Amino acid sequence: MNIVVCLKQVPGTTEVKIDPNTNSLIRQGIPNIINPFDTYALEEAVRIKEKQGGKVTVLTMGPPQADAALREAVSLGADETILLSDRAFATADTWATSNTLAAAIKKIGAVDIILCGRQTVDGDTGQVGPEMTEMLGVPFIAYVSKIEEIKDKYIRVTRAIEEGHEVLEAALPAVITVAKEINIPRLPSLRGIMKSKSHKIITWTNADLTLDPNSVGLAGSSTQVVKVFFPKRVSKAEMLSGALDKQVDTLVEKLRETRLI
């Protein structure tokens, strides 16, 4: 079973700043973590490997420092790691990101399952899994909360929907995005940490993927961030005075005005 996990390194803080010229995140000098939703995808991949055998390859598109996320993935059970890093890939929107990831998955070849998180905590679009699937031309199942069975060339899963759960089957290879109910990710083992230190990360640039330079990075992005801004925080306090029942009436009145009740 060849499993690919798509994993993104994201800022490990909510104190992010936006570059006013490029409307993108200023990533320098802030701590990074593995996108929390992707840790569930990785854990599930490692569990499948432990049960059925095979290999877990972790794929990330990001700057050179994203190698830290890949090393952490090795400490958590990944076998191979591929960093897609090239200036040409920078400032990609979800479409260009998906195009680059899909090309890498095609280059890996003979992949049975591709696991993604449901969304990232920085870009937050949840678009990369489904977009990449379309480019690969394989089945897609979102918000999977349990993998029931993987047999021969099909997978049966349970996925969370608004009213309950749905059991679905898909032919393999398929892309699956996981919900966090699917498992409880493990902590890195001491052996895993030692292994991650000497682990060799494979780096692919666009020279390896041979994609049209106009289909990656900013040049390949069909959307543009026009403006990024933080909502203004306004707070004001008003002291009520007078008889208590009058104060209660005034308070109820004011809450009604603000539609809080």
Ligand X SMILES: Cc1cc2nc3c(=O)[nH]c(=O)nc-3n(C[C@H](O)[C@H](O)[C@H](O)COP(=O)(O)OP(=O)(O)OC[C@H]3O[C@@H](n4cnc5c(N)ncnc54)[C@H](O)[C@@H]3O)c2cc1C
Strands across the sheet with 80-84, in order?
Answer: 164-171, 154-161, 140-151, 174-178, 113-117, 2-6, 55-61, 80-84, 202-204
**Contact in structure between 27 and 12 (CB atoms under 8 Å):** no
Orientation of helix 128-136 relative to helix 94-108, angle to 10°: 50
Q: Closest separation between CB of residue 58 and ligand X, Å?
A: 9
Q: Pick the closer one to ligand X by CB: 123 or 250.
A: 123
Q: Pick the closer one to ligand X by CB: 64 or 247.
A: 64
Look-up of token digits 């393999």: 172
CA angle 110–115–121, rounded 5-degree value: 145
- Of residues 131 through 190, those in contact with ligand X by CB under 6 A are none
Q: Pick the closer one to ligand X by CB: 68 or 250.
A: 68
Q: Closest separation between CB of residue 132 and ligand X, Å?
A: 7
Read off the amino acid at residue 19: D
Q: Pick the closer one to ligand X by CB: 6 or 136.
A: 6
Look-up of token digits 């898909």: 170
Q: Pick the closer one to ligand X by CB: 228 or 251.
A: 228
Beta bridge partners of 154: 151, 171
- Of residues 55 through 114, those in contact with ligand X by CB under 6 A are 59-62, 91-94, 97, 101
Q: Closest separation between CB of residue 178 and ligand X, Å?
A: 9
**Binder among 213, 223, 247, 254 for ligand X (CB under 6 A):** 223
- Of residues 5 through 34, those in contact with ligand X by CB under 6 A are 6-8, 24-25
Read off the amino acid at residue 190: L
Read off the amino acid at residue 218: L
In the complex, residue closest to ligand X by CB: 123
* Positions in the binding site for ligand X (CB under 6 A): 6-8, 24-25, 35, 37-38, 41, 59-62, 91-94, 97, 101, 116-117, 119-120, 122-129, 221, 223-225
